[in-house]
Every structure is written in C-alpha cells, then in structure tokens.
Amino acid sequence: MESMSEANERPNLWELAYEQGEFDEEGIRVLAQSSKEHSSSWSPMVLLEQVKTLSSARFVECKQSGWLTGPRGDNFAVIHQVQTIVSAVLELNEMVSAGLRFDASGYGATAWSIITFGLELRQNDLRRTQALCDVSAYLADLLARYAGYEMHYSDPRIKDWSQLQGCIVDVYTAVLKYAIGVKSAREYDVDVKLGREDDVTQRALGSFQAIAEDYLDALKAKVVDVDEAAKEWLSPIAHQYRLKDRQQVKEQTANILSAVSRVSVAADEKDIRDWFSSDVPGTHGRVQDDLQKYKLQLEPGNRFLHSEFFKQWRDFPQQMYWLEGGAGCGKTYLCSIIVSHLHATYLSDSRKSIAYWFFEPKGTEVKAMGRMLASLIKQILVGVQPLPRFVTEFVEDHKKRNATPDINQLIKLLHRVIRTLISSRDIFLVLDAVERCGESPPSEGSPEPLLDFIYNLAEQVYGNLHFIIASRPDDRVLDMTRALTIPAIRADVAKDTKDDVDAVIDYHLEHGPYLKNASPVTKNLVASRLKQDEQKSFPGSMNSSRPWRDAEPMRMSELH
C-alpha cells in the first residue's frame, strides 16, 4: 500500500492531459461545460447504474427487433460488449476504492460518460446498434486498462515512471479530443432538434457518425502508437496492471448481466402477455361501485361468503359449482363479490391464479367466447414467471403469420396452461351469465361451443381448479351439468341473496334520500310491497336512485 505522501504527490493525469491538449476555444468550452456537469455528481457506481439501465434498454430493443435470435448469432456479440463495459466499470470502482486518485477536474468523468452516450443512442438498425456497443466496449476497456496502469504509480519494478506517465497522458489527451468531437456533435443535434422537428433521422445518424466513425479512427490510431511505446515500460508488470482479484469482478459482472437479461425477458414477456386480450367486461367494476355504497353498513354478500357452500368451493376444490337463478336475482352481484373476495384474500399469494368473465347482454354472439378464452389465459398467467415456453411459441407463431387463433386453438392452449400450472397453484375460475354466449344459436348439429368447453373442463377434474358458473334457468345448462360424471353442485341464488336484498331495502327506508323522511305507514307499505314482490330485482335494489325515486311519498298511492 502506498504511503500518504506518495498519494498526495501523485499527479492528476487527466489535468495533465487537458494541459497538454492545447485545445481551441470551442474544445475548452465543451470540456469546461461537461466537467462542470460531472465533477460533483459523478462516481463509478453512478456510472454503473446508468450502464445497467441503458444496457437493459438495448437488450429490450434488440429482442423486440428480433435481433437476438438472428442466424448470425448477434445476441452473443451484444452480450459480450455489455459484459466488457460492466467489467470495466466494476474494475474502475475497485481501483478507486483501492487508492486510484479521484479526478476532481471532471475530465475523466467526461471521457467515461461517452460510454453511456453510445449506449443511449437508439438507431433502429442492427449494424449501427452493434457499432455503438462496440465503441462503448472499446472505450470502457481502454479507460479501465490505462487506469490500471495508473495504479502502478511509483512501482519500483518500473524503471522510469515518467515515461509510462507520458504514455497514459497521451492516451487521455486523445480520449479528450474524441470526447470534444462527440459532445460537439451532440450539442449540434440538440440545436437542430430545437429548430427543425423533421430531422430526427438525420440527428440520429449524425450522432452515430460522430461517436462511431468521424473521431474514432484518430483515437484508435493514437492508442495503437502509445500501446507500442508503453510495452517497454509495462514489461516488468505484464498482465498485472489489471485487478489482481478478477474472480470478484467476474461474479459481479455475471450477476449484473443476469439482472439485465431478466429485465429484457420481463419486457419480452410483457409483449407476450399483452398480445392476449386485455378485454375484461366492465360489469365487475360497475357492480363493485354499486356495492361500495353499502359496504360499511351492510357488507353485501357476507352471508354467502361465510356459508359452508362457498367455503367448501374455495378451500376444497371438488366438482364444478353452478349458481342458478332468474333474471335480476343477484347472480352477477354474487359473482362479483366472489371475485373481489378472492383478490382480497389472496393478494400476496403468488400460488393463486384468479380469472373471471362476465358475459354482457349485448355482443353475446359466439365470437365473444374467443375474447373470453384469451382473457382467461392472460389472467391465469398473471404472476407466472417465466412464462411457459409453449405460450411464448404460440404467440410468436401467430404474430409471425399475422394470424388470429380460433376458438379451438385457444381452448387447447387454456387446457395446457391449466395442466402445466395446476400442480403448483390453485386456479379460481368464475364465469357469469354463461347462457348468454349461446343466444346466437350455432349451426344445426354443432354443439354449444361454450357449454361444450365448460363440460370438458369440468370433466377433467383438475385437482386444484375451483370452477364456478352462473346462469339463468336454462335447459341447455341443466343438461350439460347432469351429463357430468361428477354432477355440478347447484345453488339457488334467489334464496342466498334474499337477506341481502331485504337489508338493502331496509337501508333505503332508513337512510335513502327519497324515503328517510317518510312516515312509518308509508315505509311499511313500501317494505311490504317490495319484499313480497316476486319480481323484485337485486340489481335494482342496489341502485340508490331506482326504484326508490318511484317510491316518493307523493306516489305512495300507487302501492295500494
């Protein structure tokens, strides 16, 4: 370890390079501005975070552009370049920690910043993207290498340190000249951008030429000459000028590359997931908005959620459950309550998948089933990482052919997804108003696609599948459930929601804006009529303005 006096005597070679450069006024201005930006906030760790972020962005760009799977093995080139950059920055950090003089002038930080400038330039072209990565990797390795030479300041094995110092300063001067050229071109690009919005392509090309072509050859030529001269003075410490403990840097580099790769994979998987329908009918949200009005006072659905019927379904997957009831009895509300309960109960449990679909009154032709299947697949895959390879292949195949999968393909994929995941997680599946999907009758002799799908899914008796459907009384649904090897467990929704409906009616009588000030006689008449009405509507009772507006005192006579 060098003494304190030696550390104090060590010159700032970047300052010497600046003094030796004899730059013109423009060069001095560019370096002064850049060094001011970097001198206070720059550090190897800040640079490392920038490199990680930008490398992730380039990985994503290459993946999305299809470059990482090209026949020329382009992925290996990109990965190798990023590995070189990360290793160089980690070495710099280790050397600074081990005593490398901190460059207070900011000129060294200016040179290192060119690396990130090269990584942040998006070119939408494989050749130019690779060229920029090549330049960034070359510059990072060069700067780390010569910083390693600096670490041997006053090493007694070096006969004439001043000669080696001269080599380092020569390279640093050449790097600063390169940095001036690149940063000047970048400033020009900004000026053009502010003045001419239609020159985006030209700006990108200009920045690329500055960093990868115009000034690079001069830098490389100078480095070749200096490297040759430096060999004489480096021979006593050959192969020792870089970090002695390379294993730690290798491990850190591998970990960072793994993290960068995961970001790339995550972005790629997001595209795969987004390819499936993001279409979830708004029924669930609308129902939850209605229920929110009563949540604190009434807890709608609480009785059902605490019933043995529901707890058996939630905790012990068995056969399919069927919620049956006439129009307006509360099936949709009950399904929404179930979905909301599951999401709240298993919010932090990654071993649970929850998927649902509410068939709407309109647009219920058979093609709605395709939207449902795509949505169910996407919902089941939430939190599944990595995605099963067959899912990725399915999407990529259809994207390449610009094809839309048919219902049978989606059914097969959904079954395969469930089979793959079911051993390691519970899957909750809630389908409401299933009778609506078949309202546009299929061609003569063909099965009901949705009911056929439900039947086959229930017949599989997947171990951890919690499956519940809801419908109006319907002979087709009844026949399907009876045909199951293990018949569906049937529930009368009207009975299960009666207490909730009565509670909502009582709530409006006491707190509703139209009846809270009515006389006891009027309230009794309203309650009697609504609670005895066989056609009373659960959705209607949950709505705060209808039918309560029709029950204003001045119209109470209509109740007799």
What is the predicted pLDDT for the residue at 322? 94
Please return the burial class of 355, using the count of CB atoms within 10 Å of its CB with bins 0-12, 13-18 and 19+.
buried
Please return the burial class of 141, using the count of CB atoms within 10 Å of its CB with bins 0-12, 13-18 and 19+.
middle
Instruction: Respond yes or no on whether the N-terminal peptide bond of residue 473 is cis (omega within 30° of 0).
Output: no
Please return the burial class of 32, using the count of CB atoms within 10 Å of its CB with bins 0-12, 13-18 and 19+.
middle
| CB proximity list for 327: less than 8 A, separation 6 or greater | 472
Locate the DSSP E strands across 28-183: none
DSSP 451-513: HHHHHHHHHT--TTEEEEEEESS-HHHHHHHHHSSSPPEEEEHHHHHHHHHHHHHHHHHHH-T
Residues 36, 189 contacting (CB under 8 angstroms)? no
Residues 434, 331 contacting (CB under 8 angstroms)? no
SS3 188: helix
Q: How far apart are CA 529 and CA 185, in angstroms?
A: 82
**How many CA atoms, within 13 angstroms, populate the side-chain half-sphere of residue 62?**
31
Q: How far apart are CA 449 and CA 456, in angstroms?
A: 11
Q: How far apart are CA 478 and CA 438, in angstroms?
A: 14
Point out which residues pair with 276 in neighbouring strands: none
What is the predicted pLDDT for the residue at 280? 66
Looking at residue 307, the DSSP 8-state letter turns out to be: S
What is the predicted pLDDT for the residue at 236? 63
The secondary structure of 242-304, three-state, reads: CCCCHHHHHHHHHHHHHHHHHHHHHHHHHHHHHHCCCCCCCHHHHHHHHHHCCHHHHCCCHHH
195-216: string of b/e by CB count within 10 Å (b at 16+)?
eeeeeeeebbebbbebbbeebb
**H or E segment and range at residue 356:** strand 352-358
Task: Give which of 197, 385, 357 is closest to 279, Cα–Cα.
Answer: 357
Looking at residue 432, the DSSP 8-state letter turns out to be: E
Tell me how far apart the terminal alpha carbons of the chain are, to the nearest angstrom: 102
Q: How far apart are CA 372 and CA 366, in angstroms?
A: 10
pTM of the model: 0.56
Q: Which domains are seen in the chain, by residue range?
A: 18-268 (no CATH), 285-496 (3.40.50.300)
Tokens of 373: 């299947």
| Sign of the CA dihedral with 395 first, then 401, 402, and 404 last | negative
**How many CA atoms, within 13 angstroms, populate the side-chain half-sphere of residue 377?**
30
pLDDT in tens, the chain (560 residues): 444 444 446 788 999 999 998 899 998 998 888 877 766 667 888 888 888 888 777 777 776 666 655 444 445 566 778 888 888 888 888 888 777 766 767 888 888 888 888 787 765 677 777 888 888 889 999 998 888 888 877 777 777 788 889 999 999 999 999 999 888 877 655 444 444 444 545 555 666 777 777 788 889 999 999 988 888 777 666 555 455 456 667 777 777 766 666 655 565 677 788 888 766 667 787 777 777 766 656 667 788 898 898 999 999 877 799 999 888 788 888 899 999 999 999 988 889 999 999 988 765 455 678 889 999 999 999 888 788 889 988 998 998 899 999 999 999 999 999 999 988 899 999 999 898 876 555 544 344 788 999 999 999 878 899 999 999 999 999 999 999 998 899 888 877 666 666 666 666 667 666 667 777 777 777 777 666 654 445 444 444 434 444 444 333 333 33
